[in-house]
Structure 1
Amino acid sequence: MSLERDVRRPVRSVLTASRTALAASAALVLAVVVAGPASAEAYRYWGFYQWKDGAWVLASSGPASVTPEDGAVDGWRLAVSGETTPPRPPRAPGDFEAICGGTPAEPGRKRVAVVVDYGLAEEETSGQALPQPRGACAVVDADASSAQVLAAVASVREENGLVCAIDSVPATGCGDTVPEEPDIPSPEPTVALQLPGGTPEATSTAQANETTTPNPAAAENTDGAANTDEQSSSRGVAVWSVVGVLVVAALVLAALVTRRRRGAGEDV
């Protein structure tokens, strides 16, 4: 009996180790699969853009860190965007002359045109009526930041340095999560701006070019979407590689247990 117990003890130890390894392997596979292709989140927020070389470019810094020059154009757009959504800049061009042409320059101060696009009604779920996108000319100190430029022509609600609302749009919330990304055409149709003086902006040469000239920011994001698809594919290959390795490990452990059992039976 003592000999039989001594023989069974190493077999039982191997079985226990095998079960532990298989459980750990299953947990690892589950963790890798769960962490793999997750659903993309989308957010409703005000995007900050700058008009450069005839197109809107997503600003690389926050408005408090940007000091626009005289004659510059800042753009703001409320939109729902996610990981696979191209940048959604204002739907009107940054025409400085159309916005600030009737505002005289002042010594020691600068003029900065501002385009404010309040977005689509279906993306602003509070039910409030959205104002028409508008253009405004800010006359500010020469060293004013883009945050100060915006505050000069609109009411702004901020939280921790993030622009949450412009002119009370949206009424509540700040960078809220949205269940899914919207199905929006790219590029989006252009809109007319309400300009200083109450007249809508006529279709300009810049606006006509906007419909035919690709947006560099959108092209860059398209490359990003392709990279995202490639990363997802690579992640799927990696998951199945891990699964294959774990299956082989389980088979090796099973063979080892079988060999130990046969050896123990022969010894007895």
Structure 2
Amino acid sequence: MKLKDKIAVVTGGAQGIGQEISLALANEGAKVIAVDMGELKYEHENVEGYKLNITDTEGCKKFYDQTIEKYGRIDILVNNAGITRDSMTRKMTDEQWDLVIDVNLKGVFNLTRYIGPQMEAIGGGSIINISSVVGVFGNIGQANYSATKAGVLGLTMTWAKEFARKGVPVRVNAIAPGYVMTDILKTVPQDLLDQFAGLTMLKRLGQPEEIAKVALFLASDDASYITGQTINVNGGMRL
């Protein structure tokens, strides 16, 4: 039970990668609050859902205050929630650009702005930001998404310095997944999935639980000397 008695917050925790991360942390003893705009699609005795739009600054502050009042602290934060609105740059609308920036960057900032300093105050913690392979390499038709996921990497390195500047072991790391078989990819034609798999050295797509295992590692004391890093979990993908 690597995370016994730890309190964890996972955004986008209702399904997909967020669900697997929530379950992985919960199975190791953490009490997990899975934040999402939708209902949880699963049950676990150590996971509770909380409906929240992470772009709502006041809503995030209310959630933070209620969580601290109930549990006293937050030890782990996984900033997983994110959206896509893909389009070629010449066709991309202001709405597509603004919405992705709002969710994928402001949403990450909104909870960390409260939880990061709180970790400083309690003497440590782990923040894990979920970026993407396209935040590292870019991708055609995803200027908005790749910009936000690259921005998440910048936030990771900044927060790793900022929250540990007083010698407190607050660790901040990022995971950059490749193409992972979530419900979104299940709607993609098989020939395209095969093409994506062919871009990896392992010649297959990832599974959500493979991302969750890395998140569990970073959340635990097994990663006690790792901070400010990006772990690429993409099967050796090159876009």
- TM-score (norm. length: structure 2): 0.24
Higher helix share: 2
Task: Please identify the structure whose Cα radius of gyration is greater.
Answer: 1
